[in-house]
Structure 1
Amino acid sequence: MAGRRERARQERKVKIRRIVIAWSIVLVVVAGLVVAVTWGAGQLRERLASAEDYPGPGTGEVVVRIEQGQNGYDVAATLLEEDVIASSEAFTDILVEDSTIQLHPGAYRVQQQMSAQGALDAILDPANKAELRVTVPEGYTLPQVFERLERDLGIPQAEFTQLAGNFAQFDLPDDAISLEGWLFPATYTFDEGITAAGVIEAMVARMHQALDSHGVADADAQRVLTFAALVQREARFADDFGRVARVFQNRLDINMALQSDATVAYGTGNLHVVTTTAEERADASNPYNTYQRTGLPVGPIGAPGDQAITAVLEPTPGPWLYFVTVDPNTGETVFSETYDEHLVAVERFQQFLRDNPGWGG
């Protein structure tokens, strides 16, 4: 009995020693991890402290761009190149320390020789985003569009005109004869530093988007824009768009000349009048003369908007073949089915001209 008790006691001692050794190993491992984590944090703090950095707050102003797809290291390289920060490490170490920071594409106004943290704060502040806004009204012709773009974006008209001379470089259909009609009228927001080519690309892309949303096939895009530009120029009020489109469609259906003064005027280059002379209407050499040529004009005479495109695709039902704006000041327009009815309306317009000498000239 005494021998068995002694053996049991010895076995308990062995088990206790094993447990003590096991826990000692665990404590050593944990202690090692704590030392490693502490050392790593210390290394990051030392790196942050040692990375070259400007004291800030910075001077002057510079616009930097963050492109789509760039990462923090790319942005740091851009900031370093523009002398915004003293070193890439000072900027990227902040991003490594806080993985929740997100940098968004765009142009930003910052100062040179800022601290890395100050530069990051400036980029994250929406108030520092360098943006330009421009609104292009419906019906504007290319020269008018380019004038507006120069005024609001600061890009010389000459740059747009030069690009328009090589319009094939843009995403236009094969039957397009110019950029006319393809620059969608809307309000745009561009980053500072946008190029003339970038502006045109964006406006053409927006027109494609509009045509796609209306279900216009690529093969029919130029014809729809040519028709819609005509409606845009001739209609004034929302209710008139569909009726103007119907008049022209009814004429097209019977091969009747459209007889639009707006197209004749566009062909002469005199875009600031609503009337034309007998000589201008008789000029068959004008490719936009819809008095002398049947069918649609050779191309758009301005930039149509969604309302005009909708009117062409869904014209208001009606038998009209004629319309005339009898009071240009109010926009009142009379639609007629017969020529005799139309002559009565034309007399009202002519009376307006007699009462308002020099109007529209």
Structure 2
Amino acid sequence: MTEPLLPSAAPEPPREPVSGWAFWRQVAFWVMMALLALAGTAVYRLLYQPNITAAVDGPAYLYIRPGADLDEVFDSLRQPGLLARPVEFGVLAHLRDLGAKDNPTHPGRYTLPAGLGNLDLLRLLESGRQDTVAFTLKPFHYLPQLPRQAGRQLYLDTTQLHKLLADNAYLVGRYGLDTATVRTLFIPGKLRLFWPTPAAAFLDSVAARHRRFWTVARRRQANFLKMSPVQVAVLASIVQRETAQPTDKPLIAGVYLNRLRQGQPLQADPTLLWPLHGLGTRKRVLNVDKKVDSPYNTYRHKGLPPGPITTPFPQALDAVLRPAQHKYVFFCARPDGSGYSDFAETFAQHKLNARRYQHRLDSLKVLK
């Protein structure tokens, strides 16, 4: 019995040699892949690779003023140490037409976190998501000092602010205050504001802080004293100029309130310096100052002056709203130079306190 024959394997077809065209076609393919990889790397670098450098003194900020064009923005971004590759950002910004009519720059202050890439930086500027600035309102004695103070911290039209502060009709209509009492609107402290802030918006922000301070409880305390918030602020401005010691403020407020109740003139030395523009430049009051012809002369005129002599801190306002209860109507500086005051109910006791203080001054003159 014979075994069946198995079919033999088919012979492999002969391999054709690779032609020159096929070889170069493969070379071209790999070259194209390499170019695409390089292009992808370049695109990634252009869009996403960190371009904002880390600053040693905190976050970096970009300030864009109203009306700034793209060149001004580039000039700000080219400041040393801000962008690692400013040319790349410029290329991308031009490709997206940043600064054009349909894609304008937005004014403001922008925080630029370290490691931010070009695309995220561009989106931030296109969105207009600006920061707020921690504006510190400091005490001031005279209205012209305010625009200068605000202009140092904000991009603000100081000329317009001057005009608004001098416009009696505007102040009365919007805030119920005139040019003399508008200074009671300003309570020193911190505000969060946009860097480019219009003058009217600045005043509205100050007014909002004023409303937040004057709570129902504080207004009730003012009513108990038979005083308006403006009158409280006027008296608080005097108290603030009389002492820097927190524990003495309620005591001095009580002295002045006692004088008002008894119909006595306040006889507050700081009010003599205000019409002479001496607040902040003079420490002592002379007898000749008591003759100044001004409604702020509380030696010649009874009651409160027509406006504050400075912008009082919240602590001074609260000292008037919660004064110390006592019968003192006199006070004078202690001779130890501590900044505290000695208080008296009678003029005779006050003269003894004043004599001790004067004796110290005379001793210091001898030592000099």
TM-score, normalised to structure 1, is 0.62
Any idea what the Cα deviations from partners look like across 1:140-197, whole Å, max 9, x if unmatched?
5434443322332354654433321115424332566342222110112321211233
Contact kept in structure 2, 1:139 and 1:229, CA below 8 Å: no
Counterpart check, 1:84 vs 2:98: yes
Q: Secondary structure at the match of 2:248?
A: helix
Q: Find the aligned partners of 1:156 and 1:86 in 2 and give their Cα distance.
A: 26
Distance 2:118 2:188 in 1: 42
Counterparts in 2 of 1:202 and 1:86: CA distance versus 1, 3 Å = closer
C-alpha deviation, 1:133, in angstroms: 3.0
CA distance in 2, matches of 1:178, 1:163: 14
Kept after mapping to 1: 8 A contact 2:333/2:340 = yes
Change in 2 beyond 3 A, CA 1:64/1:153: closer
Which residue is equivalent to 1:188? 191
1:161 aligns with 2:162: yes
| TM-score in terms of structure 2 length | 0.61
Structure 1 276/214 Cα, relative in aligned 2: closer, same or farther at 3 Å? farther
- TM-superposed deviation, 1:245: 0.8
2:271–2:309 Cα contact (<8 Å) kept: yes
Change (3 A) 1:348 1:153: farther
Is the 1:138–1:304 contact (alpha carbons within 8 Å) kept by the matching residues of 2?
yes
Amino acid at match of 2:152: R
Counterpart check, 1:261 vs 2:261: no
Pairs aligned (count): 269
Structure 1 residue 320: Cα displacement: 0.4
The equivalent of 2:259 in structure 1 is 251
Q: CA deviation at 1:225?
A: 1.6
Residues 245 and 312, structure 1, Cα contact 8 Å, conserved in 2: yes
Alignment partners' CA distance in 1, 2:100 and 2:200: 34
Task: From the two aligned structures, give the one with the greater helix fraction.
Answer: 1
C-alpha deviation, 1:350, in angstroms: 2.5
Does residue 278 of the first structure (1) align with residue 278 of the second (2)?
no
Q: How does 1:52-201 map to 2 (within 5 A)?
A: 63=64, 83-84=97-98, 107-109=108-110, 118-120=121-123, 129-138=130-139, 140-153=141-154, 155=156, 157-170=158-171, 171-173=174-176, 177-201=180-204
Deviations 1:301-360 (A, max 9, x none): 111222222222221111100111235953121111111111122223323443556xxx
1:205 corresponds to 2:208: yes
SS of the residue corresponding to residue 318 of structure 1 reads: coil
Partner of 2:318: 310
Cα pair distance change 1:264/1:87, threshold 3 Å: closer
CA spacing shift, 1:326–1:182, aligned 2, 3 Å = same
What is the CA–CA distance in structure 2 between the aligned matches of 1:130 and 1:282, rounded to whole Å? 51
Tell me, yes or no, if structure 1 residue 342 matches structure 2 residue 350.
Answer: yes
CA contact (8 A) 1:138 1:232 kept: no
8 A Cα contact 2:63 2:108, kept in partner: no
CA contact (8 A) 2:184 2:233 kept: yes
CA distance in 2, matches of 1:332, 1:318: 17
Alignment partner, residue 218 of structure 2: 215
The superposition leaves residues 226-250 of structure 1 with CA deviations (integer Å, 9 ceiling, x where unpaired) of 1222222223211111111100010
| Cα distance in 2 for residues equivalent to 1:110 and 1:250 | 53
Per the alignment, residue 31 of structure 1 pairs with none
Q: Cα gap change, 1:144/1:335 in structure 2, threshold over 3 Å: closer, same or farther?
A: farther
CA distance in 2, matches of 1:312, 1:156: 35
Whole-angstrom CA distance in 2 between matches of 1:151 and 1:64: 14
Equivalent-residue separation in structure 2 for 1:331 and 1:278 (angstroms):
22
Q: Please, which of 285, 291, 298 is the counterpart of residue 299 of structure 2?
A: 291
**Structure 2 regions of 5+ residues with no counterpart?**
1-45, 53-61, 67-92
Give the Cα–Cα distance (whole angstroms) in 2 for the partners of residues 129 and 248 of structure 1.
47
Gaps of 5+ in 1: 1-54, 66-78, 90-104
Kindly report the root-mean-square deviation, in angstroms, between the aligned alpha carbons of the 2 structures. 4.0
| Residues 167 and 178, structure 1, Cα contact 8 Å, conserved in 2 | no
Letter paired with 1:293: H
Conserved? CA contact 2:181–2:230, under 8 Å: no
After the TM superposition, which of the residue ranges 137-146 and 319-328 deviates more from structure 2? 137-146
